[in-house]
Chain A
């Protein structure tokens, strides 16, 4: 080897991968911090959802709620919206990857002696951090307009953790979307197409028992409902769940969904990344 070669480092392959993931994560978070307008806009959407649903639809839905909601729609709504926006947090993953592809940044990364999957891992992890901030903000806003966990502070933190894990799993789906769809505008539309139908046919806004019979089997069992029920039972207790469900059962089921989605989509996404030509 000639003297002009890069100084080889003493890191093992695992340490190197961890370092690459950390470098990419930091880069993505720096980008987020430097684009405050994007930050403010993306934080305002969940806040608008909270206010709009609480004050516009809350009165109409209140009567259909179980007693566990303590007579306040906002208690019912917040855990559901936490699940929805944990899922929606992946939209940044999709558009960020599409942007990097278009700008030639991915080409540069792929020509470097780094761990290839670190680009994706760093992307999903930085979005996890962003989601954590968003969800915390949502709880704070909710608190301001009357949201009160009926269980304990531990239950609230548990709900946030389950929500974030659920959202992290979905960010791999969003990453795949970003790699396949590529154009930043089209990616936004594709994300909406995934998130909103799933959110509106789930128990996020209303109990699924109020939906038509043909929709109920899907609505009651689809992943966003499972996650919402898990979060809701963690902050409101067993009484918030449909009959026959338990808190541990729903939490376990939500975590299973998260694990299954990650297990399927992470390898697919890594494969798509390796094959992506720009």
Chain B
């Protein structure tokens, strides 16, 4: 196993009012690939990125990025990282090329090097054509791409992307996903935060689920799904039979079935897989209900997320390890405010 490129130990960050945005978080990220930080609003994702990119000093614990301690040698860390924050930090009245060259110069490149490097990253990020236009003519997706280009100028060993696709339309989001995926080929380790489960599932090789400044669970997306408890049974029934079915299926998966009226489904955990399915069908038959559809499947990352962070009650309850629930929304919002 390679030595970790990002190593976080018992990291603590406090904000005014005693909010512990990071509460003893530990993580080790291996070099290469995309690592996803997943968590609800105010979980501490952005705070972690800000500590790792030396924008905030930690209050406790330690963090090393590319072998360099963020506390004792922040300048050394800055020389090895790239950061693209939540809003595209690009200059509207400068052209795309000027923006990227500016950042290159501030990485210590000479004028000539900065010009060459800017052309390289702009080509890679597919902005070469628009490079000489002022940024105010760019679309939201183009601005994000330019921000990404600027963060790549210094050939970072670790690239931090804080919610890189927040607020983008689906097409621009897919476009950016493709670009982020390509980065991995160059050996850059990407650490990204996201609230989009689809994004983590799609991009991240490994995912850390964070809530209340602590690590809740960590692993590949498949591992996380397994951990939350095998399979999920989904039953689609006519509207009129809904209440009868909910009654009939009570206790089948060890827990009450959950109603998902928006999609006309009833969902329940199926810890015993096919055996649970057989039992459910038997009970439906006994109740005289003919389901429109029945499916046994792995939980979506959505359901894993909800199970792990207890954010919503409309999905099946997980029964794996590391489950915390009853997270108070009030507390989370407080944390979010403080993290800004």
Contact = CB atoms under 8 A, between A and B. Distances in A.
A125 to B, nearest CB: 16
B98 A30 contact: yes
Nearest to A116: B75
B186 A4 contact: yes
Interface string B117-135: 0000000000000000010
Contacts of B78: 111-113
B108 A16 contact: yes
B53 interface: yes
A104 interface: yes
A6 B154 contact: yes
A11 B78 CA distance: 17
Interface in A1-43: 2, 4-9, 11, 16, 19-20, 23, 27, 30-31, 34-35
Contact of A6 (B53, B79, B91, B102): B79
A31 B83 CA distance: 23
A9 B85 CA distance: 27
Contacts of A185: none
Contact of A112 (B98, B107, B134): B107
Contacts of A11: 108
A8 B54 CA distance: 20
Given A7-B113, A23-B102, A108 B85 contact: yes
B134 A34 contact: yes
Contacts of B107: 6, 112-114
Nearest to A104: B89
Interface residues of A, number: 29
A246 B94 CA distance: 48
A9 B108 contact: yes
Contact of B110 (A9, A34, A105, A277): A9
Contact of A107 (B83, B154, B187): B83
Contacts of B186: 4
A23 B106 contact: yes
Contacts of B194: none
A5 B157 contact: yes
Contact of B106 (A20, A35, A103, A277): A20
A92 to B, nearest CB: 14
A104 B107 CA distance: 18
A53 interface: no
Contact of B93 (A7, A8, A34, A105): A34
Given A9-B109, A11-B108, A104-B86, A31 B79 contact: no
B188 interface: yes
Contacts of A103: 87, 89
Nearest to A119: B106
The residue among B53, B55, B134 with the most chain A CB atoms within 10 A of its own CB is B55
B255 to A, nearest CB: 44
Contacts of A113: 75, 78-79, 106-108, 154
B155 interface: yes
Given A30-B94, A31-B93, A108-B150, A8 B87 contact: no
Contact of A108 (B103, B134, B155): B103
The residue among A7, A8, A108, A113 with the most chain B CB atoms within 10 A of its own CB is A108
Contact of B89 (A16, A107, A114): A107
Nearest to A24: B106
A103 B85 CA distance: 10
A277 B47 CA distance: 11
Interface string B139-164: 00000000000100011110000000
A271 interface: no
The residue among B94, B106, B154, B157 with the most chain A CB atoms within 10 A of its own CB is B106
Contacts of B81: 111
Contacts of A6: 79-80, 107-109, 154-156
Nearest to B78: A113
Given A2-B157, A108-B150, A113-B79, A8 B108 contact: yes
Contacts of B108: 6, 8-9, 11, 16, 113-114
A11 B107 CA distance: 12
A271 B85 CA distance: 23
A109 B87 CA distance: 14
B55 A112 contact: no
The residue among A23, A109, A112, A114 with the most chain B CB atoms within 10 A of its own CB is A112
A114 B98 CA distance: 17
Nearest to A33: B93
A75 to B, nearest CB: 39
B155 A107 contact: no
B115 interface: no
A107 B113 CA distance: 24
A11 B105 CA distance: 12
Nearest to A38: B93
B50 to A, nearest CB: 8
Interface in B60-112: 75, 78-81, 83, 85-89, 91, 93-94, 98, 102-103, 105-110
Contact of A7 (B54, B75, B102, B109): B109
15 contacts: A4-B157, A6-B108, A6-B155, A8-B108, A16-B108, A31-B93, A104-B86, A108-B83, A111-B55, A111-B83, A112-B106, A112-B154, A113-B75, A277-B55, A277-B56
Given A4-B155, A11-B108, A27-B91, 7 more contacts: A31-B94, A34-B94, A107-B85, A111-B54, A112-B103, A112-B107, A113-B107
Interface of A: 2, 4-9, 11, 16, 19-20, 23, 27, 30-31, 34-35, 103-105, 107-114, 277
